Amino acid sequence: MKKFSFLFVATMLLFSIGAEAQEKWSLEFRPGLNFPTGDVGNTDTKIGFGFELTGAYKIMPHFAVYAGWGLNEFKGDDNFLTEELTLKETGYTFGFQIIKPIGTSAFSYLARAGAVYNHIEIENNSGSFAADTGHGFGWQIAAGVDYEFAPNLALRPMLRYRSLSRDITIENTSTELKLNYISFGIGLALDF
């Protein structure tokens, strides 16, 4: 009987440690629409779209670090080349997030602040022209709501402002590209 009691207590202890660890990590997929706040170089940029995959680790009950990878694409008309271009911003994101419950409801406040390490690729639609800025640092801030609709699953509608400034050289002419935009997306997050 002692062996059974010991095994039962040990098993319950392991499950309780595992249950606590399940609260530490989260994985989120977020598609979204991007609204540029201005032109990017000589390009009159239109509304874009993209997605991001982010993982987070709670270091305190309401405070976590996050890191991820994303792709955002914009179409636009270049005023200098007089043709339609595609701008792709791809790269990494990392920073801190706070998720603070609103009373005893299933809703929580969500805020993020961090950096991006991204690059911007420019291509024309015929595929005959392409340029790349190379990776560099930018920043982002975000605010939204976390709605836990099932155990360990949440929807996260969020507004984000992102800023990235990179130089690009096309035919021996260097131009600064400033990609600043507001993004709205609804993420699906899994806690484990």
* CATH code of the domain containing 164: 2.40.160.20
Are 75 and 100 within 8 A, CB to CB? Answer: no
pLDDT digits (tens, 9 = 90+) for 137-160: 999 999 999 999 999 999 999 999
User: Residue 19: its pLDDT value, please?
Assistant: 44
pTM over cut 0.85: no
User: Residue 14: its pLDDT value, please?
Assistant: 45
Which residues fall within 8 angstroms of residue 139, CB to CB, at 6 or more apart? 113, 114, 115, 116, 162, 163
Domain-located, residue 53: yes
Domain-located, residue 4: no
User: Residue 17: its pLDDT value, please?
Assistant: 46
Pick out the chain residues at pLDDT < 70.
Answer: 1-22, 81-82
Domain-located, residue 107: yes
Closest to 39 (Cα-Cα) out of 87, 89, 93, 92 = 87
Residue 7 DSSP code: H
Residue 133 burial (CB count, 10 A): 21
Are 25 and 65 within 8 A, CB to CB? Answer: no
Domain-located, residue 1: no
User: Residue 94: its pLDDT value, please?
Assistant: 98
* Residue 125, CA distances (Å) to 75, 79, 130, 171 in order: 10, 15, 10, 19
d(CA 156, CA 109): 10
Domain-located, residue 15: no
Domain-located, residue 29: yes
User: Residue 79: its pLDDT value, please?
Assistant: 73
User: Residue 136: its pLDDT value, please?
Assistant: 97
Q: Compute the half-sphere exposure of residue 113: CA atoms within 13 Å on the CB side of its CA.
A: 2
Domain-located, residue 114: yes
Could you write out the DSSP letters of every residue in 24-49? Answer: TEEEEEEEEEEEESS-BTTEEEPPEE
Q: How many domains does the chain have?
A: 1
Residue 23 DSSP code: T
User: Residue 139: its pLDDT value, please?
Assistant: 98
- Which structural domain range is residue 107 located in? 24-191
Domain-located, residue 72: yes
Amino acid letter at 175?
T
User: Residue 185: its pLDDT value, please?
Assistant: 98
User: Residue 16: its pLDDT value, please?
Assistant: 45
